Chain A
Amino acid sequence: MKQPNNYKLFFAFIFVLCSFSAIAQDEKPKPKLLLELGYHLSNNKIPFVSVYTKSKNERKFIPVPNIAVKIYLTQEADANLLGTVKTNNEGRAIVSFPPSVQALWDTATQFTIVGTTDASKDYRSISSETSATKAKINIDTVLVDGARNILVTVTKKQGKDWVPAKDIETKITVKRSIGNLSVSDAETYTTDSAGQATVEFKRIGIPGDEKGNITLVARTEDNEFVGNLSIEKTVPWGSNFVNQGIDFNRRTLFATRDKAPWWLLFLAGSIFIGVWSVIIYLVRQIIKMRKLGNT
């Protein structure tokens, strides 16, 4: 019988090795999907739930887009469905409470939000939940010894009544263009037994709009009892914004391309037209010389 030569044996070995390698890759465990839910109530209007899907990769959390998540109020049942959302490229989505759950919501004091995902080729199905007490936040302003004070009140529902919620950490800020600025020195303020936090407004002279209006914002952030509550109030405590006349609508060197200064357009245009007129003239001369030579 003819013996297989060494080359054939070598390639057979490589083939088997590659096959094992491919099988080993197929058996790689699916990465774990993580689902984060957050309860939000803004200006005491319609509550909504924020959804964030992510996975852990090399000690970093990576957002996972395009994951369909079903959100329920209290428990996983069709009647309690708040909605089905698909996460965006940043792995985030929000769903507002629909009218269909209003009766259930009105009677609730403590509640749970449940989120579930179906299994896919990349991830196994998972579920997650978050609980909170039904609560409201209010903001008011008071004058104490001539000083402007901000009074924030957090109340929670107990039975049919709204009672003060104490020991709730709140942030009291002024809304700015890019972020929010604390109204005083401290970062956070905690409510007392009356559910109130009072802080003196120290941002005197902060620029407001043209009428001097600024927007105060009080909020709780990922609070373990009440979730994310926020409320805004506009007050005329800022200084009037005076337009200095420096904006990108003027024709300046730093404006957008369609607002170049006239003098620059004229200067650059004149030079460009002047030089390129000479070039066009010279090309015409070449064409003329060509015609002269060919006749």
Chain B
Amino acid sequence: MEKLTLSPEKITADLVPQAFGKRGMIWTGCLLVLCAIGLFAYIRQVTKGLVVTNMRDYVSWGIYISNFVFFVAISLVGSLITAVFRLADVHWSTPLTRIAEIIAVSAIVFASLIIIVDMGRPERFYFLLIFGRIQSPIMWDVIVISTYFVISLLLLYLPLLPDIKILLEQKGVGVDRFQKLYRFLGSFWKGLDIQEKMNNKAVTLLCVTIIPVAFSIHTVTSWLFATTYRPGWDSTNFGAYFISGAFLVGAGGVVVAMYVFRHVYKLEKYITEMHFDRMGKIVVMLALLYLYFNVNEYLVPAFKMKTSEEAHLMQLFTGEYAPMFWFAIFTGMLIPIAIMIFKKGRKPLPMFVAGIMVVVGAWFKRYLIVTPTLLHPFLPMHNVPASYHHYFPSWEEWAIAIGSLAGAMLVITFFARILPIIPIHETIIEQHETAE
């Protein structure tokens, strides 16, 4: 790790939350507008029914479920960066832990919300809780998502306690208006040895717990598909396939966030080129792993080319969905690998570009997992309107999906405004230990 030679005061001054500048206000305003449009579209959907969407009898899981899988995938990054690295005693990732945890919490919140959107009438969620069957993977998903949300929130909160003490001691435009909130969250934190000991033990326990829960959340999400007998989903590999994809998109998301926060908050001393270099290596490894699972998922059925699978596979390889399929493969995996495999590609700007490609490619990959399969059922489609043979989301679906993505980014933005995005206390301690 590059040696920091900064005083605790300087680190604190650098890392306390800062008030939004003009760019921050514009960014937040844009996100709020997108959220408002999404909310308007959702109100239309609730009042007029799911008929405003283009989902019909065959494509009953459209862009909403693609978005849900995407959110669940990106939320896994909290367990990777925080839990796995912490348990493996990897210290260079300290500046990235809070970013990963914030992304995880905001993504899991919107994963839950988008499922309720997909249900049509929101009270159906209540009925799911009241009348749900434990035999159904949907019920498992509800249980595991709510559990993961609570654990992610705790994993964000517990390491934050020492930082809240620091924030309570600060004065300035960036923190003054949140003093009440800070007092509510952590005025009890005095930094006592016993508190430190209890907190460290709790965080370690959380890290151990979150890994199986994180694996469960995405495995169960994959089972929503794999337990349904359909071309493209009938796979025993789906759990591992989804988890590898989730780690990739999560790591890509962290790379993008690292670059943005580093650039906007001038954190070059804390999020260094070394961090990008190491994250780049991790992303390459994850992209190769995900590529491996993709080869498994497509090559094996394509080799056998069973009649029932053929229409689906040909649509992906050379048919209607081929441009999107190859875009997702190249943009989401191959090009980022080609960029980041070289040392020059692991510099901040190329990494930022590659990170965006990974995230965008991953979103389209989720769309491809959901929609083309639904358009190719085992039994042929007979006597149905022509529109049932195709699916393209309505403007309400786009608005809600984009609104939810904007909402997740808005939550990240507000977290970054209120909380230090790099752990202050841990950075001071680590610098102290390194100096010794």
- Give B187-220 interface residues, CB cut-off 8 Å to A: 187-190, 192, 194-195, 198-199, 201-202, 205-206, 209, 213, 216
A279 engages B188 (CB within 8 Å): no
With A264-B135, A275-B209 as known contacts, state yes or no: A288 contacts B198, CB within 8 Å: yes
- Are A256 and B133 in contact (CB-based, < 8 A)? yes
- Tell whether, in the assembled complex, residue A257 and residue B188 are in contact, meaning their CB atoms are under 8 Å apart: no
Chain A interface extent, by class: 20 to 34
Over the window 32-62 of chain B, the binary record of Cβ atoms lying under 8 Å from chain A Cβ atoms (1 yes, 0 no) is: 0000000000000000000000000000000
Given A264-B135, A278-B209, answer yes or no on A293-B140 (Cβ-Cβ < 8 Å): no
Partner of B135 from the list A260, A271, A278, A282 (CB cut-off 8 Å) is A260
Whether B134 contacts A257 by the Cβ 8 Å rule is yes
By DSSP majority rule, is chain A's interface helix, strand, loop, or mixed?
helix
In the complex, whether A46 has a CB less than 8 A from a CB of chain B is no
Cα-based distance from A286 to B188 in the complex (angstroms):
10
Q: A290-B188, A293-B192, A293-B195 are in contact. Are A282 and B205 (CB under 8 A)?
A: yes
B194, closest chain A residue (CB): A292
Q: How far, in Å, is B19 (CB) from chain A's closest CB? A: 29
- Contact B154 A289, beta carbon cutoff 8 Å: no
Determine the chain B residues whose CB is within 8 A of the CB of A288 once the complex forms.
198
Q: Does A279 contact B150, Cβ atoms closer than 8 Å?
A: yes
A288-B198, A294-B188 known; A279 vs B131 contact (CB < 8 Å): no
Please tell me if A254 contacts chain B, counting CB pairs below 8 Å.
yes
A268 part of interface (Cβ distance < 8 Å): yes
What are the interface flags for B100-139 relative to A under an 8 Å C-beta threshold, 1 for contact and 0 otherwise?
0000000000000000000000000000000111110000
| A223 CA to B192 CA, complexed, in Å | 93
Query: How far, in angstroms, from A293 to B186 measured CA to CA in the complex?
Result: 9
A275 touches B189 (CB 8 A): no
Find chain B residues with CB under 8 A from A285 CB: 198, 201-202
A293 in contact with B202 (CB, 8 Å): no
Contacts of A281 in B (CB 8 A): 205
Q: Say whether A289 contacts B195, CB under 8 Å.
A: yes
Please determine whether A265 and B134 come into contact, CB atoms closer than 8 angstroms: yes
Question: Which residues from 242 to 295 on chain A have a C-beta closer than 8 Å to any C-beta of chain B?
Answer: 252-257, 260-261, 264-265, 268, 271-272, 275-276, 278-279, 281-283, 285-286, 288-294
User: Are A289 and B133 in contact, CB atoms less than 8 angstroms apart?
Assistant: no
Q: Decide yes or no: A255 and B195 within 8 Å by CB, A268-B140, A279-B151, A293-B188 being known contacts.
A: no
B residues 126-164 in Cβ contact with A at 8 Å: 131-135, 140, 143, 147, 150-151, 154, 157-158, 161
CB distance from A49 to the nearest CB of B (A): 36
Please encode chain B, from 6 to 33, with 1 for each CB lying within 8 Å of some chain A CB and 0 for all others.
Answer: 0000000000000000000000000000
Bound-complex Cα distance A108 to B187 (A): 95
Chain A min CB distance to B162 (Å): 11
Residues on B with C-beta less than 8 A from A286 are: 157-158, 202
Interface residues of B in 388-411 (CB under 8 A from A): none
* Inter-chain contact B192/A275, CB cutoff 8 Å: no
What residues of B have a CB within 8 angstroms of the CB of A253 in the complex? 135
B195 surroundings in chain A (CB, below 8 A): 289, 292-293
- Whether B206 lies near A289 (C-beta < 8 A) is no
Min Cβ gap A292→B in Å is 6
* A275 touching B147, Cβ below 8 Å: yes
Residues of B within 8 A of A279 (CB): 147, 150-151, 154, 209
Point out the residues of chain B lying under 8 angstroms from A256, CB to CB.
133
Tell me the chain B residues, 47-106 only, with Cβ under 8 Å from chain A: none
Are B202 and A292 in touch, CB under 8 angstroms? no
Which residues of A have CB within 8 Å of B190?
292-293
A252 vs B135: C-alpha distance when bound (angstroms): 8
Of residues 17 through 33 on chain A, the ones whose CB sits less than 8 Å from some CB of chain B are none
Contact in complex: B132, A257 (CB < 8 Å): yes
Q: A292-B188, A292-B192, A293-B192 are in contact. Are A257 and B150 (CB under 8 A)?
A: no
Chain A neighbourhood of B134, CB < 8 A: 257, 260, 264-265, 268
Determine which of B143, B198, B213, B216 lies in contact with A289 in the assembled complex, contact meaning CB atoms within 8 Å.
Answer: B198
- A283 CA to B206 CA in the complex, in Å? 11
* Complex: chain B residue closest to A252, CB-CB: B135
| A289:B189 contact, CB within 8 angstroms | yes
Which B residues touch A278, using CB under 8 A?
Answer: 205-206, 209
B198 partner residues in chain A, CB cutoff 8 A: 285, 288-289
8 additional A-B residue pairs with CB within 8 Å, beyond A279-B147, A286-B158:
A255-B135, A257-B134, A275-B151, A275-B209, A278-B206, A279-B209, A285-B201, A293-B195
Q: List 17 A-B contacts (CB under 8 A).
A: A257-B133, A264-B134, A264-B135, A275-B209, A276-B147, A278-B206, A279-B209, A282-B202, A282-B205, A285-B201, A285-B202, A289-B161, A289-B189, A291-B188, A292-B190, A293-B190, A294-B188
Binding site for A on B (CB under 8 A): 131-135, 140, 143, 147, 150-151, 154, 157-158, 161, 187-190, 192, 194-195, 198-199, 201-202, 205-206, 209, 213, 216
5 closest Cβ pairs, A-B complex: A293-B188, A257-B133, A290-B188, A253-B135, A293-B190
